[in-house]
Amino acid sequence: MKKDFILPDIGEGIVECELVEWLVKEGDTIVEDQPVCDVMTDKALVQIPSVFNGVVSKLYYNKGDIAKVHAPLFEMQIAGEAQAPTAAPAATQTAAAPSAAVAGKITEDFLLPDIGEGIVECEVVDWLVKEGDVIAEDQPVCDVMTDKALVQIPAKYAGKVVKLYTAKGQIAKVHAPLFAIERVAEGAPAVAVSEGSAVVAAPVAATSTATPAAVMANNGKAVASPAVRRLARELNVDLTQVAGSGAKGRVYKEDVQKFVSGAAAPACAAKAAAVAAATSATVAAPAVATGGRRVEPIKGIKAAMARQMAESVSTIPHFTYCEEIDLTDLIALRLSLKDGLAKQGVKLTMMPFFMKAMSLALNEFPILNSQVNSDCSEITYFDDHNIGIAVDSKVGLLVPNVKGCQHKSIAEIAKDLTKLTDSAREGRVSPSDLKGGTITISNIGAIGGTVATPIINKPEVAIVALGKVQQLPRFDSKGHVVARSIMQISWSGDHRVIDGGTIARFTNLWKQYLEEPSSMLVNMR
């Protein structure tokens, strides 16, 4: 039996995702729990596993498409369930005729379509049909109530209602099955049964001869739902040019998608023929270079980060504080410890020292490890120092955090940090690692640059950007010019709860731990 695989919930509040990569192709045999694709939400890269054994018969999305949660992702033939026979032997043709009629029908789920922008669920107010009813295409089947209006849901196909999945008064999810309908399969052979014999008519290809103009409503507009019109706008499709497959020329999403994927080929062929004819008659004019442009949608993690940054800048009064730190002694300490820890499987970079020193300083200045509510009437202080590190991943900016740095050694922080950053760079960091951060470090100097004005990772109250390490001349205690390893650091603070004096004193303590590593070691708890 063929069955649609429904894209499951992949995170709280997530209603859609980008299909990054198919890990299988049509015709592949897959097993339960085998990864079938990678999808990108606005939070992380997620791998979707199969829940059945079987054969992939159809992939509903292409790489880069947006897939809806609770909507079919792909179709598969379930293992152990035989397909209906496509033809009967001639000797048993008479007996097989009734079975052929049954085989020409399929039972499938009707998925609740988009009923308004941003709407993910609704209440079933009333069913206008019952199980066993025969319904026509576009016949209203139920009334649903969104948070905006009462909407009537029409049937997409003619057929018989087999099962109602949601009772009156219950909440139905958009793109989830609403009811099951038995209908005639597309392309099924027409069957005529006479007494004593069965005559099977040759299959007739269902083709549409209507022009787009013939299927428009009287007012000149195509018949389509708001969701379909929104899809058409996103794809830059003129609905009046799309032949609708529904009653009275109603245009469905599938019609728009088929138009985009299939209509371009004939158009390109016609255009190519016209160009060829023109060039054969006249000498082609020299090509003129024109300024082009390319428009790409902002989606997934990049869209989430764009919203987060815009909200942070518009709601938090930022101020910046800069300082320089002499890391000469700390760099020497790291080099002396690096090889020994490498034998234990620990990759020791400079970052664990920065994080541990920050945690020690936060013990004295807990205001930097806090959050303030929206109307600035309450401050919440956190005992745990969950220090985030901004990672430039292949899917965009991610900020995983090392939990409980106040209880961890530098080696333990290094282990956790390596695991987090490796996962984040591949976009596969878990959602739990992205939540609960209390303060953030951005190591922009790893790429380049000395001074920055970082944007606070709301709802935190502070973030620091680390510049690149430079060999610069400085005076020693005897007035001699010496080369030192200098890093510029740039803080951004929430001026509603942090003033300049507080962040300066905090930075002085943090700087002391980093410039004199022995003072950091003796103050560890």
Residue with tokens 């019952």: 130
Cross-strand pairs, 171: 123
Residue type at 448 in one-letter notation: G
Cross-strand pairs, 38: 21, 47
- Beta carbons within 8 Å of 308's beta carbon, 6+ residues apart: 457, 458
Mapping DSSP onto H, E and C, the string for 248-307 reads HHCECHHHHHHHHHHCHHHHHHHHHHHHHHHHHHCCCCCCCCCCCCCCCCCCHHHHHHHH
- Beta carbons within 8 Å of 510's beta carbon, 6+ residues apart: 357, 358, 361
**499 belongs to the catalytic site:** yes
What is the phi/psi pair of residue 515, to 5°? -80, -25
* Per-residue DSSP letter, 137: T
Rounded CA-CA distance 459/440 in Å is 11
Cα–Cα distances in angstroms (integers) from residue 399 to residues 250, 351, 443, in the given order: 46, 14, 11
Active-site choice (9, 33, 147, 499): 499
- Which spans in 33-134 are helix H? 93-103
**65 belongs to the catalytic site:** no
Active site residue ranges: 495, 499
